[in-house]
Amino acid sequence: MIRVVLPTHLRNLAGVGALPAVELDCAATRRSIIDAIEGAYPMLRGTIRDPATGRRRPFVRFFACGQDLSHEPDDQPLPEPVAQGREPFLIIGAIAGG
Amino acid sequence: MSRVRVLVGTRKGAFILTSDGKRSRWSVEGPFFGGWEIYHLKGSPADPSRLYASQSTGWFGQLIQRSNDGGRTWEPVGNTFTYDGVAGTHQWYDGTAHPWEFKRVWHLEPSLRDPDVVYAGVEDAAMFRSADGGRTWSELSGLRRHGSGPRWQPGAGGMCLHTILLDPVDEARMFIAISAAGAFRTDDGGATWRPINKGLRSQHIPDPTAEVGHCVHRLAMHPSRPKVLFMQKHWDIMRSDDAGDSWREVSGNLPSDFGFPIEVHAHEPETVYVVPIKSDSEHFPPDGRLRVYRSRTGGGEWEALTRGLPQKDCYVNILRDAMAVDTLDDCGVYFGTTGGQVYASADSGDTWAPIVRDLPAVLSVEVQTLP
């Protein structure tokens, strides 16, 4: 199981506001994780990646194991601790004004 | 006794204000979708319990929310807005060609007859239609593909389709407005469109009387006279008596004819409301005095409505979708400000009082008159 931490707004939107992380049975790549999120929580479709281009939204960032993985390829395997469920995959709303 | 439900979209969520027909005591619910920008929410005329809301942020993009119980509960519906075919280009601020890119939904207009049919005006400017309660959206691409599309350009707020008026008599006729392209009309249900900007004069564009390129801020219509349109343009209040085929200026004695919203009284088709703003570089009321102006002559002659509104040190703006009327016998008029106040008048604008004072900046105000 891969553990994914969602930002507050998306937790609320998905109705999992109280959960520290959602657990997903999927391959350990960015694309697989987002596919699994959108499958399990259809209301999140388009909120993490642009539905037209498939690209990560500019103010969304991906972190795991102390690394910024935001600019890595979608299909690149994520670090082993993420794949084993020992470390969460963090989806972060970038700090920006407003 | 009739009730009134005021739907308020703000920079940080939606609020629902309700009152009985007296409109003197209000309850405030919200924020709904706290932290999200709610550009617009509106109820279906065919089923007042059906509401639609445009929810977005710069972080997570666009969502459409739907309620079937008057706003008590909501569910996200479809948020895929894909331009039909090749998106093409429009003019960018520097005059270069820029690809059409979807950014957000500015305005939602439910059908007058079918609660599952709803139109969306979006940025970059285009019109979408849903026939399944917002689950799926299809572009009415005849508008964007009008030959003038490559010459449209964004206003300061983006290239947005912000106004949709549905003709209550002729179901196939609709009017829309885009900043900064102008006003357009379809007579065939949205398949084809034509610009309706004859008579507009915009000094800030290379050809002041061009077919397109005008920064139209808002259109308004009284349902009993769908061929009579009123327009708040970037500068100038305009009127058309022939469904937009020609326009004439009716700014008259206004202290400034710059502004954003324009509305028509529910029972008096010649009574029109605007809120003059000092200028396009100073988006606040002239002299720091918040004044709604009312014309009872269909424009030309305007009177200031000030009772209950701040007459000193007021520097808020009133955005284009932030004014509405109810349909009670004594027509109620409502508007929201960028300072977070929502003002109401239960006597056609003679006197005003704030319903709330400290909301986030108000983006839109709509009113439902309920049995």
pLDDT one-digit tens code per residue, B298-308: 999 999 999 99
Cα–Cα nearest to B39, from B17, B19, B58, B67: B58
Contacts of A93 (CB under 8 A, 6+ apart): A7, A8, A9, A59, A60, A61, B59, B60
Among B residues 65-104, those touching chain A with beta carbons less than 8 Å apart: 75-76, 79-80, 82, 102
Between A98 and B222, the higher pLDDT residue:
B222
**B79/A57 Cβ within 8 A:** no
Q: What sections of A41-98 are H helices per DSSP? A: 80-83
Provide the shortest C-alpha distance from residue A60 to chain B (in Å).
Answer: 6
- Per-residue pLDDT averaged across B244-252, rounded? 98
Give the mean pLDDT of A44-62: 93
Domain ranges of chain B: 41-316
- Contact B82/A52, CB-based, under 8 Å? yes
Alpha-carbon distance values, B279 to B77, B213, B236, B363 (Å): 39, 19, 11, 19
Q: Collect all residues of chain A within an 8 Å Cβ-Cβ radius of residue B59.
A: 7, 9, 57, 59-60, 93-94, 96
CATH architecture type of domain A2-93? Roll (3.10)
DSSP code for B39? E
% chain A with pLDDT above 70: 97
- Please state the domain extents for chain A: 2-93
B35, B59, B75 member nearest A59 (Cβ): B59
Closest partner CB to A60 (pick from B59, B76, B102): B59
What's the rounded Cα separation, in Å, for the pair B368 and B192? Answer: 31
Alpha-carbon span B178 to B347, nearest angstrom? 32
- Write down the pLDDT at residue A52: 82
Residues in B closer than 8 angstroms to A9, CB to CB, are 35-36, 57, 59-60
Looking at this protein, which amino acid is placed at residue B315? Answer: Y
In chain A, what residues touch B75 (CB-CB under 8 Å)?
43
φ, ψ (nearest 5 deg) of residue B288: 65, 20
Tell me which fold the domain B41-316 belongs to. Methylamine Dehydrogenase; Chain H (2.130.10)
Residue B169 to residue B224: CA distance in whole angstroms = 9
Asked whether B291 and B276 are in contact (CB, 8 A), the reply is: yes
Q: Say how far apart CA B109 and CA B104 lie, in whole Å.
A: 15
> Which tens digit of pLDDT belongs to each residue from B129-178?
999 999 999 999 999 998 999 999 998 889 999 999 999 999 999 999 99
